Amino acid sequence: MNDNPLMRRLKFRAWHRGTREADYTVGGFFERYHASWNDEQIAWFERFMDEQDADIIGWALGTIAVPEEWKGPMMDQFLKLDFVKIEN
């Protein structure tokens, strides 16, 4: 991944969202799944990075509905939140 400028940029954006909660959620999702993404999934994630943190966290927590444009396998994977590490 270090040789791919797009993936380096996406990793940075995923971990530097602006709120700690979004950093862990989006960054954790990226870390867990990016290695297996195809071009279509990478494009989805790149568009996802343009969404507001409040919306992303609301979708993740189920406090707001996921818009139709984001529904699908990638969002299903994201909503599992099984990639978020909670340290004691």
Predicted confidence band of residue 88 (pLDDT cuts 50, 70, 90): low
Could you report the per-residue pLDDT of 16-69, keeping only the tens digit for each? 998 999 999 999 999 999 999 999 999 999 999 999 999 999 999 999 999 999
The single residue listed with the structure tokens 């994977």 is: 77
Burial of 52-82, coded b for 16+ CB within 10 Å and e otherwise, reads: eeeebbebbeeeeebeeebeeebbeebeeee
Closest alpha carbon to 24 in 88, 81, 65: 81
Write down the pLDDT at residue 72: 97
pLDDT value at 85 more than 90: no
Write down the pLDDT at residue 2: 62
pLDDT value at 87 more than 80: no
The single residue listed with the structure tokens 């978020």 is: 84
pTM: 0.89
